[in-house]
Structures are given as C-alpha cells and as structure tokens.
Structure 1
Amino acid sequence: MEYGKVLRFHRVKQGLTQNQLAEGIISPAYLSKIENDQTVPALEVLELLYERLGLDFQEASFNHPSKEKLKEWYEAIVFKRTEDANKLKEELLQQKETLNNHHVYIFFKLFCIRHLLLENEVQEAYEVWEDIRQHKDTFDEEMHFYYHLCSGLLKYYEGSFDESFQALMEAKNYSSSITIEPWEKSDLFYLLALSTSQANHISASVFYADHALEIYQNHYDLAKSADCHILQGINYSNLKNYAKAFENFHLARKIAMQTQALNQLSLVYINIGTLESHLGNRESAITNYQKSLDYNKETDPTFDQFDLLTTIHSLIIEHYRLNDVDGCMEWIRIGEEKLNSFPSKVYQLHYLFYKKAIMKDDDIADFLEQTVIPYFQEKKEHVYIIRYSMVLVDFLEQQRMYKKSSSYLRLAIQLLNKHSHLGGILL
C-alpha cells in the first residue's frame, strides 16, 4: 500500500496544505517524506493523519474495491454504447468508494473524461482533466496510461493534432509496462491513426490503422473494422493512391451494409463523393453525396447533423462548379432550412457566401474580408482561411485593389507552406 500517495491525494482533494495536515502530529518536512514514499511511518502516525482527513484507516488501507465495474464502464464508453455507459456511471456513483478511495477515484475521473467526450461535453471534459492533473504525482503507471490517452483525445478535439499524437505516444510507452486488453490496444492504435492522419503524418497513420484493423478483424469486430477502412480510404486519398482509397471505401461500405450501420454508410458515401470531386467527376460526386444523405436520416439514432450540413455544403459546391445555378440555389435553400433545426455559424457563412456569389452581391468582398475570413482566423480553421482568401484575391484584383489583394495572397501562401496538406480550391 502506497500510503504517501493516498495521503497526498486526499490532502490536495480537501484543499489542505502540508502544514495544516501535519500540525500537532508530525513536522511538515516529515509529512513531505511520507507523501513522497521516502519513509514508512508508524501506524499510530498514519491513523492520526487519516483521522484528520476524515478517513477510516482500516478501510482506506485494506479495502480495495474491484476495478471490474470501472473497466466495464470504460469498455461501454470506448464502444459507444451510450445507454450502458450512462447506466454504469450511475451505479458507480452510488458506491462510496468511487469518490473516497484514491485508486478508484482517479480511474473514475479519467474514464469520466472520455465519457464526457462521448456525450460531446468537451468543456466539461477539460474541467475534469484540469482537476485530475493536480493528482498526477500520485499516479501509478496504469493511471499514467489513461491520463495520457485522455490528454491525447482532448488535444485532438481542440485541433492540436501533433500534440495529440505526442500524448498518445506517451500512452503507448506506458502500455508496454502494464496489462491492457486487446480491445484497448486496438483503440490506442486507432486513436494514433486518427491523430497522425490529421497531423498529415499519413504513412504513420496507415501503419497504426493497419495494426488496429488487424486486431479488430481477429476479434470479428466489424464496426471498428469499417471505421479503420474509412480512415485508410482517407489516408490513401491524401497519398493520391486513389485505387487503394476506393478499395478501402468499398470494403467499409460492404461491412456497413452487412451490419446496417447507417452512420458508417453515410460517411463512406461522403468520402467517395469527396474523392470523385478531387478527380473532377462532378456528377459522380453529386450522386454519392446524395446517397450519403439517404443514410443520414434525422429519425435514426446515429444521425449526425454536422455530416448532414457538410454534405449539403459539398452539394452546393459541386453544383456551383457545374454552373448549375438552380441546383445550387435549391441546396442553399435546403441548407438554410436545416440551419433552423441545427444552428451552425460555420455553415451559415458557407451557405451565405454561395448565395452572394450567385446573386453577384456588390458587398461580397467586404463580406469575405470583414466577416468570413476573421471568423475562420479566430477558429484557426486554416483550410477555410486559405480558400476564402484565394477567392477574395480574385475579387480584389477585379477591383484593381492590387496591394490588398497581394496581402491576402501572402496569407494563403504562408498557410499553405505551413499546412501543405490543406491545398485545394473552393470554387
């Protein structure tokens, strides 16, 4: 039993200083040695310290509740079984040890971060992460594994993909010295594949996705296998290996059809549409985007409003590129109608830009300069800063505003040099 870590955990949790806990029992210097496991104190001393913290020494020292329920909860979170995860969380909160036992509390809070992310409660997840950080020096190696994994996920959500990768690599390093389940290893590899793909380390992403896929296939996990094939399709698209990209998307589609995973089918068709768009196959891109909408139904529990709004945006772009004004305006109308149910500033700006472009509004340059580009700069959405800057360059040159035009051209070029994988044009 590591008494020092337990004492420090409860002292910090209760907001006490070492002087306050030690007063009248031992010196603060001696308490510091106990907390750092540099000495083993007499049982009488430990009993007094535990009593001051309001803890039962016998229970805190020798009663270590099983982590089986915690791991069951974590597994439900990882596999996105939301109903099971919510039920298990409530059961855990009914157990006194969940909040009072150092060992259980740390794991509960670490797993809670991922549960909150599953519920899309990102800010709350950050708050729990900040709270648990203060206990970091009481962690054992297993706790460090989950801490770095959750840190990597949070960095991914904030768009810091290189930092996400580094944190997940720390988790991978700790995983070699602890025992984790095969599904946890595959989950780690898949998260590494996601972060490296977004960080434009495409070869690394292919490597990790292959490792995750192998484990998922060995355990006949069809849903996760399909996720891996979708990711590999995106990776090979970025590598311009279009044959391998199509192969992976079709494999994902086959699995998703078999399991009737509507959300995955929607994602497959979005990505096939995007790939066809890159290849200049406008009609095929439109067909696949429309198929994506067929599977992303608002009545389905896996419905994703952002996939819906993204697909509508993509359809607007393809019709615009085909000079199909009626088709473009119809999808803008549908998109704006959906925004009434699913408000999104990002897509509001996208849709409004195309409406202004089609209507040839005189204020479109001001709209881009004063509203659109500043918004995406604030959000650090580099891809849209680049694309809308290039559009603005054309408008400014038409107005013979060459000095201002060159400043936006420099902005786009600087971002392209820094984020080379964000190339492409909007119009």
Structure 2
Amino acid sequence: MVGQRIRYYRKVKGLTLEELSQGICSVSYLSKIEKAGAKSSDEVIIQLCERLGISPEEADNKEILDMLNEWNMMMVNRKMDEATKFHSEIQRKINSVIDPEVLSLYDLFLLRFYLMNEQINESEELIEKLKKFQDDFNNKLKFYFNFFMCLYYNFKKEYKKSLASLHEAKAIYKEVGLNELEKAVFYYLMALTYSYLSRISPVNNYANKALIIFDKEYSYSRSADCHILLAISNRRISNYDAAEYHLNQALKYSESFNDTFLCGVCYNNLGYVASCKKEHEKAINYYKKSLAFKIDQPDINKLGTKFLLTKEYIEINKIEEAKNLLDEEINGILNSPKNEFYYHFLILKYKLQNKFTKKFEQLLKEAIPFFEKQHIWDYVAMYSELLADYYYELSQYKSSSKYYRIANNARKNIY
C-alpha cells in the first residue's frame, strides 16, 4: 500500500521517477517499490515520503469509505439536496486522507456530483486529473470511471463514445459488488444510451431489466424513466398502443410524486404518439399540457415541445397560430449557436412561407449531416425525404433518388 501511495503522490506533484529518487535510491529501486515488487527499507520509505510531504503510516479509512458510499447512494437515489449538504462533511474529512484508492474514489464520486449538477467545466478538469491515474485503478475504480464517463459523453451528445465507456464498465461490473439499485441505474444508463442511438432491441432489454429492479425496490420515479424509454422505442416501431401504455404508467408515477419535470416529458411524448397516429388535435392538447408543466423550466427544455406544437398547427392549417409560435422563438434561435432547434425552426419558417429556394435547399443539406452526426435518425429520414421531394418537384430525379435512399438508410438504423 505504501508503494501505491508514493506512486499516487509522485504523479499528483508531477515528479518523474528520476526526480523523486534523486539522492535517495536508484530509479529502478523506486519503480519496484511503487509496484510492490521490492522489500523496501524503512529509511528509504521515510525519505521518499518526506520528499512528497506525506506520512509513511497507514490509516484506518473505514469511516471515510462509509461516508463516500453513503454519499454515492444519495446520488443514486437522486437526493441531490442531501448530497450537497453531505459533501461539505466529506470535504472536512477527505483532507486528512492519504490512501490513493480512497482519494480516487472520492474524485470519482465528485465527478458524478458535478455531472448531476451539470457543472461541466469542473467535470472536465476532474476528468483530466483522473486520467493521470487511470492505469493504476482497480476494477471498482475502473468501473466507476467508465460509468461516469458515459454520463459525461451523453451530456456532450457523443453517444458512440458513451457506449464504448459503458461496454468497458459492463466487462467488469459483476466483479465490483454493486447493490441492486446501482445495478438498475447501470442498466437504465445502458438503455438510455442505446435509445440515443435508436437501437430498439437493447433499449427494451436493459430498460426491462432496470424496471424489474426499480419496481422491486419501490423506486417508482426511476420506474417512470424506464417506461418512458420503452414508450419511445415502441413509438419508433409504430407500436403506438404499447407506447401509450408505458407513457400512462410513467404519468401515473409522475403525478403521484408531483414530479412536474417528468409530467412534462410524458405529455410531450404522448403528443408525439398522437401525432404519429394523425390525431392532431389530441397531440396539440398534449403539447399544451406539457408546456404547462414546463412553465418554470429553462427555455431550452420547452423548445422541443414548441417545435412539435408548431408542426401540428401546420398539419391542421392553423397557420396564424404556427406563425405566432415561430415568431416567439426564431430571433433567439438565430442569435444562438447552431443546434438541432436552429435547423428545426428555420426549416419550419421556410415551409410556412412556402419559400422552397436555394437557401432552403442549402439549409437541408446542412441539417442532414448534423442529425447524422447526432445519430438522430428520425430527423435524418424526415429531412432527407423533404429534400428528395424538393428535387423531385424540380425534375432533378437523380438528386431526388439520392436523398430518398438516404432517408431509407436512416430508417434502417432504427432497430
């Protein structure tokens, strides 16, 4: 253990083997000490520790480990107010800890804390620190590092990297000794990531695994999350009855806990299903209910629902309502960095104005690769088909055929 601590603090202080060993022992001897491959003298250990400013004595870490595990479970249960208060207590204790394994575990749970609070700058600084010690992690630390990197990559919308991290974690998760609730959260994260990639079968597999555990543990808000993922998967394969069943289950749990965020998500998705069924008035009512629940949420959380609501108004020829809703959002969107809503609302603007010009064509040509990169195949298919129709009307049949083919290939990615 002392060798591990020496290696950890040498890296923390940015010292090479040569710099730390100078005047104390040979480089090869220090390397063996760090790898626990040499029987080291007490005198050498004391000198190395003095140079690093640490104690050579081992400490009892049971109390701080218990606190870290309790803190982690607060976050697993999404009790972030409690986790924030408890973090202050942990900070007072962690300063006296010298064990690198415990310190790395603290940093990993701190990464989870930052990510759940959307403190991305702090998360990225901590990730860079953790990467320095990644090669020395035991299986438990490796699991949590890859697990939380998935959370980070999902936030950055880098879903293939997220999935790669999850597979690294999955390879060792059985060796970590997770409790049932942590297993369920891991299964849910697998399902969520596959959902971002429109992979129906693995979503259903992992969401159902997670749902069984959450129901058993009476974690019904988490059960609602699983029902929403299952609803989205069923909607993508046009199984609308099953989608509505899962959304109504999620809504029942959300309403019972007065969870306005999840209620907003449920009504948004119910609107989407109704739209797919060509029940446009019903879809509009659901979208309005969703916005009512989102009234105190950040504007970014409302844009998706407003986009879908605008589309429904166009479908039933309520052009004035569609224009009013579009006008509310368009200036803010045009003055923001290009994101999915930039393309959604601008395309709607051209459709409303019935201006199918070269600028409209160029916009679609920008939008399609944007959504391809995001793996949002629904919109790749939708906008490719729209561009194909545009070319068809201009008798540009070769270009039309190309984009119909892209639309069909996009739909094949939803499986």
Task: Indicate the TM-score class for this superposition, using the shorter chain for normalisation.
Answer: 0.7 to 0.9
Q: In structure 2, what is the Cα distance between the partners aligned to 1:81 and 1:337?
A: 37
Q: In structure 2, what is the Cα distance between the partners aligned to 1:259 and 1:250?
A: 14
How many residues are treated as equivalent by the alignment? 411
1:392 aligns with 2:390: no
1:316 aligns with 2:310: yes
Aligned match of 2:327 = 333
3-state SS in 1 of match to 2:64: coil
User: What letter matches 1:79 in structure 2?
Assistant: N
What's the CA shift for 1:341? 12
What's the CA shift for 1:31? 1.4
The counterpart of 1:306, out of the listed 273, 296, 300, is: 300
Checking the alignment, whether the CA contact within 8 Å between 1:368 and 1:388 is kept in structure 2 is no
The counterpart of 2:170, out of the listed 162, 169, 172, is: 172
Q: TM-score, normalised by structure 1?
A: 0.86
3-state SS in 2 of match to 1:176: helix
Stretch of structure 1 that moved more, 161-170 or 224-233: 161-170
Aligned match of 2:44 = 45
What's the CA shift for 1:355? 2.3
Aligned match of 1:243 = 241
Cα separation, partners in 2 of 1:62 and 1:93, compared to 1, 3 Å:
closer
3-state SS in 1 of match to 2:140: helix
Q: In structure 1, what is the Cα distance between the partners aligned to 2:37 and 2:173?
A: 27
Aligned match of 1:269 = 267
Checking the alignment, whether the CA contact within 8 Å between 2:270 and 2:286 is kept in structure 1 is yes
Cα separation, partners in 2 of 1:100 and 1:406, compared to 1, 3 Å:
farther
Q: Deviations for 1:264-309, whole angstroms, at most 9, x for unmatched residues? A: 11111111111122222222211211111121121xxxx2533311
What's the CA shift for 1:360? 2.5
Aligned match of 1:381 = 374
What's the CA shift for 1:261? 1.0
What's the CA shift for 1:8? 1.3
What's the CA shift for 1:408? 4.8
The structure whose RCO (Cα within 8 Å, separation 6+) is larger is 2
Cα separation, partners in 2 of 1:181 and 1:40, compared to 1, 3 Å:
farther
Q: Give matches, 1:26-41, under 5 Å.
A: 26-41=25-40
3-state SS in 2 of match to 1:41: coil
User: What letter matches 2:144 in structure 1?
Assistant: Y
Percent identity for Structure 1 against Structure 2: 27
Aligned match of 2:9 = 10
User: What letter matches 1:150 in structure 2?
Assistant: F
Gaps of 5+ in 2: none
Checking the alignment, whether the CA contact within 8 Å between 2:188 and 2:206 is kept in structure 1 is yes
Checking the alignment, whether the CA contact within 8 Å between 1:270 and 1:292 is kept in structure 2 is yes
What's the CA shift for 1:106? 0.6
Cα separation, partners in 2 of 1:18 and 1:256, compared to 1, 3 Å:
same
Aligned match of 1:83 = 81
Cα separation, partners in 2 of 1:340 and 1:255, compared to 1, 3 Å:
farther
Cα separation, partners in 2 of 1:237 and 1:412, compared to 1, 3 Å:
closer
Q: In structure 2, what is the Cα distance between the partners aligned to 1:14 and 1:393?
A: 59
Cα separation, partners in 2 of 1:118 and 1:96, compared to 1, 3 Å:
closer
Cα separation, partners in 2 of 1:309 and 1:98, compared to 1, 3 Å:
farther
Checking the alignment, whether the CA contact within 8 Å between 1:186 and 1:212 is kept in structure 2 is yes
What's the CA shift for 1:86? 2.7
User: What letter matches 2:386 in structure 1?
Assistant: V
Aligned match of 2:71 = 73
Aligned match of 1:138 = 136
RMSD (CA atoms): 2.9
